[in-house]
Structure 1
Amino acid sequence: MEIKRKLYDELLTWKNKSRGSKSLLIEGARRVGKSTLAKRFAENEYRSYILIDFNIAPKNVRDNFENLNRLDIFFQNLSLEYNVKLYRRESLIIFDEIQKFPRAREAMKYLVADGRYDYLETGSLISIRENVKDITIPSEEKKLKMYPLDFEEFAEACGEELLLEYIRQCYDTKQPLQQKAHARAMRLFREYLLTGGMPRSVVAYLENDRDFAASDVEKRDILNLYRDDIKKASQKYNFRISAIFENIPGYLSTHEKKVVLSQAEPGAVYSQYDAPLFWLDDSMICNLCYKCNDPNVGFALHKNDAAVKCYMGDTGLLVSLAFGENELASQQLYKLIMNGRLALNEGMLYENCIAQMIAAKGKKLFFYTRYNEGKHRNDIEIDFLLSNESKTSFKVIPVEVKSSKNYTTTSLTRFAEVFSDRIAESYIIHPKPFLQEKTVTKIPPYMLFCAL
């Protein structure tokens, strides 16, 4: 089964505009579909291609990078090794899993300058210190981040193109979907929550007649790959990465959803967890969301490094991480989620999925809370902060996520009172149909992609 990915169009843009001056690096988490996309692009858009997988590349291929001062020999060796004829300006060379051989990444400076062929790189963990400490990062390299399938891609894979078009039409005209269509879209969204956007999970789900158990098998294999990668991280902090990773469902099940280091390591301080958190973020296994102390121009300028939420990069993986195989095998959990009756844990999944949607649009994640000394608790809690991205008239867009049809908007109201001059509009993500109320836009989660 072939899954259409939006990133393909960006690869085409690179080929048509920048390929002669830069290589293209696709970075993303393991099993997100980088290699599949690169190969499909090469097959469709080039006369010939060579794919060098540095997980299995033989020694003579690696040694060939000593011939960069004799590029005729370099290319001849590749052509002979992979039995592929290369054509000037009509062939693509793919360096797959390039983090396994950073020397090849450094070579882009010379290969791009030579100009004979195009170069596509794929990699995970490419900015981790161990993978770049001995090389010069080439300026002749354009980067693209690849995420799990977003809701639109998932819906298209499920054959719901007409439903997507109807959702876009309703958002543009500020109208709710008809009730039957709304119920259908919410069901599709809950399928997305459970299956997630990792390609192998989606394919297993659809090719096995929408079987969540088949999807779960693939997701658990991916989680084990992540655990293996964590074990290979620097011994200085791999146990801390593992502690955070395994505790993610626990953190997200709490009211505040923040990382609590004492649960991972008694007496821990945030300075000890800078590198582990960076590793999880750079690997794109997780999406980090930091508290913004003052929601004003440039959220990052007011970032609180000691208050962070750690969402899974894929909500389907969070489901498999949070619940045991036996628990999922009973099918009862799937039934509860599909019927919208999971209570607390459903809120965790909703919020994680909204974080995933925002991050996939290339936006950094921030949240806001205000502590009330008199009440000894937070009296304002905003799940996410977005902005209108204007440099001359900056405005804040607070976002609250509600998984239940019955909820209060106390925090959003107080936030609006305190920061009224900074707010452009407000969003509430809820399972009910679209509703516009003055400056508050209430949208179902399946419609969020239209607003980002």
Structure 2
Amino acid sequence: MQRGILDLYRQDIAKYAATKMHIRSIFDAIPSQLDKKNKRFVLADLSKSARMERYASDFMWLADAGVVILCRNVTEPVSPLKINEHRSLMKVFMADVGLLSAFGMGDARRELLTGDAGINWGSFLENLIAQELLAHGLEPYYYDRARIGEVDFLVERDGQVIPIEAKSGKDYTRHAALNNLLAVREWGLDQAIVLCTDNVSVDDDEPAITYMPWYMTMFIEKPQPEHIIIEEP
């Protein structure tokens, strides 16, 4: 059924997309791009002459169609993240992690359930977290600079930026890039989250780092607006 959905996506691209060749090549390249260490989508892998100004609307077509999630790089991890985004650098996740599994990456259900570390956990885990954050009203970004390193996700709540790291191994307390990011005091980051295989714990050093199991991503929600009650005089 999942492979059938992927085939229907391809048919819709051929039927409705103005630049169908560009969009189809982006769509089919998603698994291999996520299989890379930094998971950033590299246009040169599609064509040596590919340039973002020619492909930008194609990425947006897929995102607007609900097929992919665009996770853009930011130049600085400060609020508002939207105005700091680097639009030519992004990760491209599938909008559904189950479809990613069916999309040329083999049937990983048994391995995921039994904890087989032989599969590419990174691709599935980051895709799942991006999907869950977006489902709870948080647009995912990421940060990657040579002097800091790569931090998997950044989200914004009440004007505060929260860095999030996704860890699949037992060494989840080792996160050099996250530490480097938090150490830049002018950015004013006062909290961070590490999603890991262990239970909930908090490192109270400032800035505070909260460790949570993967499934608790659903609790990193965007606050709901307060209801204002207007009483008649």
**TM class, shorter-chain normalised?**
0.7 to 0.9
1:436 corresponding residue in structure 2: 202
More helix as a share of residues: 1
Aligned pairs for 1:101-180 (under 5 A) are: none
The two structures have a TM-score, normalised by structure 2, of 0.88
SS across alignment from 1:396: strand
Counterpart residue identity of residue 345, structure 1: N
1:450 to 209, 219, 230: 219
- Is residue 2:10 matched to residue 1:227? yes
- Is residue 2:25 matched to residue 1:243? yes
In structure 2, what is the Cα distance between the partners aligned to 1:267 and 1:417?
39
- Is residue 2:118 matched to residue 1:336? no
Q: Deviations over 1:244-279 (max 9, x none)?
A: 111111111111111111111221010011111010
Alpha-carbon offset, residue 430 of structure 1: 0.6
1:349 corresponding residue in structure 2: 124
- Is residue 2:64 matched to residue 1:282? yes
1:414 corresponding residue in structure 2: 180
* Unpaired runs of at least 5, structure 2: 222-233
SS across alignment from 2:165: strand
Q: Deviations over 1:356-392 (max 9, x none)?
A: 00111222221101124xxxxxx421111112323xx
- Work out which of the two has the higher radius of gyration on C-alpha atoms and give 1 or 2: 1
2:164 to 377, 390, 399: 399
In structure 1, what is the Cα distance between the partners aligned to 2:201 and 2:71?
27
Aligned pairs for 1:20-35 (under 5 A) are: none
2:136 corresponding residue in structure 1: 361
Q: CA 1:240–1:421 in 2, change beyond 3 Å: closer, same or farther? A: closer
1:312 corresponding residue in structure 2: 94
Alpha-carbon offset, residue 302 of structure 1: 1.1
- Is residue 2:191 matched to residue 1:425? yes
Alpha-carbon offset, residue 344 of structure 1: 5.8
Query: In 2, are the aligned partners of 1:388 and 1:424 still within 8 Å (CA)?
Result: no
Q: CA 1:234–1:285 in 2, change beyond 3 Å: closer, same or farther? A: closer
Query: In 1, are the aligned partners of 2:23 and 2:59 still within 8 Å (CA)?
Result: yes
Query: In 1, are the aligned partners of 2:63 and 2:69 still within 8 Å (CA)?
Result: yes
In structure 2, what is the Cα distance between the partners aligned to 1:340 and 1:262?
34
Q: What count of residue pairs does the alignment treat as equivalent? A: 217
Counterpart residue identity of residue 396, structure 1: V
Alpha-carbon offset, residue 451 of structure 1: 2.5
The two structures have a TM-score, normalised by structure 1, of 0.46
Percent of residue pairs identical: 29
SS across alignment from 1:423: coil
In structure 1, what is the Cα distance between the partners aligned to 2:40 and 2:96?
18
SS across alignment from 2:98: helix
In structure 1, what is the Cα distance between the partners aligned to 2:56 and 2:187?
35
1:42 corresponding residue in structure 2: none
Moved more, 269-278 or 421-430: 421-430
- Is residue 2:43 matched to residue 1:253? no
